[in-house]
Structure 1
Amino acid sequence: MTAHRSTIRRAAAVAAAATAAVVLAACGGGADTGSGHNGHNASASASAGASASAPAKQGGHNAADVTFAQGMIPHHRQAVEMADLAETRAGSADVKKLAAEIKKAQDPEIKTLSGWLTSWGEDVPKEGGGGGHAGHSMSGMMTAEEMTELEKASGKAFDTAFLDMMVKHHEGAVDMARTEQADGSYQPAKDMAGDIITSQSAEITRMNELLGKD
């Protein structure tokens, strides 16, 4: 009787061990398979997400945006240089006020344009390059001779020369801004171009009025 009970217990223990082994194997296999499959899906999803976002970043700007920024920086710098001269040479309070407004508007834009070029990995025009090679391709830029003429003038002669030159300068900037709006793809640059068209067109009207042309 005792021997018979021992045999039954051993058989039950063996059966339980076998059942546990099967269960563990099934769980382990399922976990491995699930982990591998889920991991693959996660990797595939991450790769798909990266691929989807990459073109958006690369397509944020185009060559027209770079040309606009690289051209407008020296163009603005020259306008600021002309405005600086007005502080001590202008005879008219209206001309001095206009010059101050031009400087206040264009200085921050130079910084913004420079920041865009840096973020795009493009060259920022060097200081003092406005009258160099870069200036030849931009409409409205003053020549070195014209800048010298302006520096030597004072009083009413300065006012007239400044207004005549700045009208030409602004007209060039408006042309560049219109090209950016037509050909650019970077929305902040297109928005700045719109602001330049609006503000500088209004200043052209003011300057022509001061010159007695309107």
Structure 2
Amino acid sequence: MSTVTDQHAVASRPAAANRSALAAGSMRRPTTRTVAAVAAGFAAVTALGACGGGGSPTAATSAVKTSLDPAAAAEQDAAFATAMFDHRHQALQLVGLVAQYGQSTDVVTFASTLQRSYDTQMRDLEGLLTEWGKPVPHVEGHSDLGDEIPGLLTAPELEKLRAASPADFEKQFLTVLAAHEKRATAMAQKELRLGADPQATAYAQDVLQQTTSHLAEVDGLLKARG
């Protein structure tokens, strides 16, 4: 009997460890990275691969660039970085719920991976905004979810997510996350059409790559849950 108990304890460790990491990470405030580090990270970005399904991020890579005057393009770059910073903060709040309500190792591990990705993106965006002399959106940390996530969840929807059973919570979380990632895709596609700053447009391309990967992972997790 003790052998079965020991095996169960070992199997539970990855999910428990990732939940602890999510809980600890949810209180971190992103710090500024140097623009040089941001640029180095973006230099490794490759062309977005093909993605099945209608409305996929792949379409953005072949989108016709819209000509704008320099001032309008610069305004678009700043607006994109500011909006994406807020968007990724909202995403961090969302994945932070998994630390409280997630049960399955695959979902908890995925959420932990997303947390690291989003946290890095926020630091990169903070570096860009600081370099441009633009204000960085103020956030109080990732525990301030409040009554709703603007543009993503209403207060009743959030309460439904919190009150769901473990199995239902994970399905709802994955469904909401997919919608959130698709919104990031639309924001990045707009930046590629209208933006001009090389770092901002490279970041947008990186977002498209990551959302493609995230959406594929979400699709697999949802299929595994019927």
Q: CA deviation at 1:135?
A: 4.1
User: CA-atom RMSD, angstroms?
Assistant: 2.7
Match of 2:208 in 1: 197
Q: Which has the higher contact order (CA 8 A, sep 6+)?
A: 2
Larger Rg computed on CA atoms: 1
Match of 2:160 in 1: 149
Match of 2:17 in 1: none
Amino acid at match of 2:212: S
Indicate the larger mover: 158-167 or 144-153: 144-153
Match of 2:139 in 1: 127
- C-alpha contact 1:91 1:158 (8 A) present in aligned 2: no
Q: CA deviation at 1:154?
A: 4.4
2:93 equivalent among 81, 89, 100:
81
Unaligned runs of 5+ in 1: 1-57
After TM superposition, the runs of 4+ consecutive aligned structure 1 residues lying more than 2 A away are 128-132, 141-154
Indicate the larger mover: 169-178 or 203-212: 203-212
Using the alignment, how far apart are the partners of 2:155 and 2:126 within structure 1? 24
TM-score (norm 2): 0.59
Amino acid at match of 2:208: I
Using the alignment, how far apart are the partners of 2:214 and 2:156 within structure 1? 24
Q: How many equivalent residue pairs?
A: 151
2:176 equivalent among 162, 165, 169:
165
Using the alignment, how far apart are the partners of 2:139 and 2:115 within structure 1? 16
- C-alpha contact 1:174 1:200 (8 A) present in aligned 2: yes
2:195 aligned with 1:184, yes or no? Answer: yes
2:101 aligned with 1:113, yes or no? Answer: no
2:78 aligned with 1:66, yes or no? Answer: yes
Using the alignment, how far apart are the partners of 2:197 and 2:188 within structure 1? 13
Match of 1:31 in 2: none
Using the alignment, how far apart are the partners of 1:195 and 1:95 within structure 2? 23
Q: CA deviation at 1:114?
A: 1.8
Using the alignment, how far apart are the partners of 2:102 and 2:183 within structure 1? 23
Using the alignment, how far apart are the partners of 2:185 and 2:89 within structure 1? 15
Structure with greater helix percent: 1
Match of 1:95 in 2: 107
Amino acid at match of 2:105: A
Query: Closer, same or farther in 2 for the Cα pair 1:130/1:159, shift >3 Å?
Result: closer
Unaligned runs of 5+ in 2: 1-69
Identical pairs, percent = 28
